[in-house]
Amino acid sequence: MDIIVLKPGTKRDQISRIEKKLKKFGLGTNVIIKGTERTIIGVKGDTSHILPEQEDSFRVMEGVEEVMRILKPFKLASREVKQSGTVITVKGRKIGGKKLCVMAGPCSIEGPQIFMDIAEQVKKAGANFLRGGAFKPRTSPYSFQGMGEEGLKILYEAGKKTGLPVVTEVMDPRDLEVITEYADILQIGTRNMQNFRLLLEVGLSRKPVLLKRGLSATIKEWLMAAEYIMSNGNSKVILCERGIRTFETATRNTLDLSAIPVLKKQTHLPVIVDPSHGVGHLEFVAPMARAAVAAGADGLMIEVHSKPEEAFSDGEQSQTPEQFRKMMKELKPVARAVGRDI
């Protein structure tokens, strides 16, 4: 809140009231510019502590047409506050470094045998993190909702055997304790990006948080969600682009790869991409994974299932381990072309 634009014909006493209110917030008037058509108040002082609702309270004052803010509303997540890119290390594996992180595995954990089988295959193909859902957000109440704690144990075992750190989704603050026991990275899903109580809770955790972008979240709102986590003490946030909702129906969502360079400019946090959810059709996953790496992503999250035809969820967009291996091979030269390893 740095500039207050007044309506044409604003009176002197209205301006006085605005100035009085500014004073209440420890601010002053730097200058009043009387233009040919508008009068503008330049605000003096540090306005960074002014909250959005306080800004709004100026907006509704008589005589005020617009209130403009120049500074970004997020701080801890901002590149200005911390210039160097954040690298997060989990069990010796880095996210945000030269080597890309690749998190692979099935959408849902469906059983110990099949999960271990997939885990070993994706590891062999080059994945350095393991993903799998134990608590699943499902559009229909009649769908499979995940194996719960039993699934977490399977995930933990697979992580131990393969040596790969494991990622799984938290949907409810009440599950956080048990998930923290088993998982290395806590995932916040797209539907919970603005579940602020959950953000606060994972902010109090010491585990890294993978924060997926909300289906219709602007980049600014996404960074504000990261700020929620960071302002509670947890600075290990990984941003994951997974497609936004648009009018196009040829793909499940529209994968917004331009978010990568935008984020790289605005924040120091690492950015990865989930092309599986982004496009929703198996055959488009590999080209978009290549594009994500070329655009500068720090890693990928890929759905892999050994029998997509029998998957309990998201079979349509899952690669087989064989397809995953092929994609990883094709990604190598692309990564090298942009100065990265995979």
Record the tokens describing residue 46, joined without a space: 């540090």
**Could you tell me how far CA 340 lies from the centroid of its own chain?**
22
Of residues 133 through 162, those in contact with a copy of itself by CB under 8 A are 137-145
The residue (of 38 and 325) whose beta carbon lies closer to a copy of itself is 38
Residues 237, 257, 269, 304: which binds a copy of itself (CB under 8 A)?
Answer: 257
Does 219 interact with a copy of itself (rule: CB under 8 A)?
A: yes
The residue (of 165 and 275) whose beta carbon lies closer to a copy of itself is 275
Mark the segment that binds a copy of itself (CB under 8 A) among 121-129, 179-187, 310-318, 321-329. 310-318
Does 294 interact with a copy of itself (rule: CB under 8 A)?
A: yes
Buried b (16+ CB within 10 A) or exposed e, 82-117: eeeebebebeebbbbbebbbbbbbbbbbbebebbee
The C-alpha angle 11, 12, 14, rounded to 5 degrees, equals 70
- What character string, x for contact with a copy of itself (CB under 8 A) and - otherwise, covers 15-54? ---------------xx-x-xxxx-x-x-xxx-xx-xxx-
d(CA 225, CA 216): 13
d(CA 131, CA 102): 10
State in angstroms the smallest separation of the CB of 111 from a copy of itself.
15
d(CA 271, CA 27): 37
Mark the segment that binds a copy of itself (CB under 8 A) among 97-105, 178-186, 233-241, 246-254. 246-254
Of residues 51 through 110, those in contact with a copy of itself by CB under 8 A are 51-53, 56-57, 59-61, 66, 68, 70-71, 73, 80
Does 247 interact with a copy of itself (rule: CB under 8 A)?
A: yes
H or E element that contains 208: none
Which residue's structure tokens are 């899903």? 189
Residues 23, 26, 98, 337: which binds a copy of itself (CB under 8 A)?
Answer: 337
Does 326 interact with a copy of itself (rule: CB under 8 A)?
A: no
Query: Would you mind telling me the total number of residues written for the chain in this entry?
Result: 342
Of residues 185 through 204, those in contact with a copy of itself by CB under 8 A are 191-192, 194-200
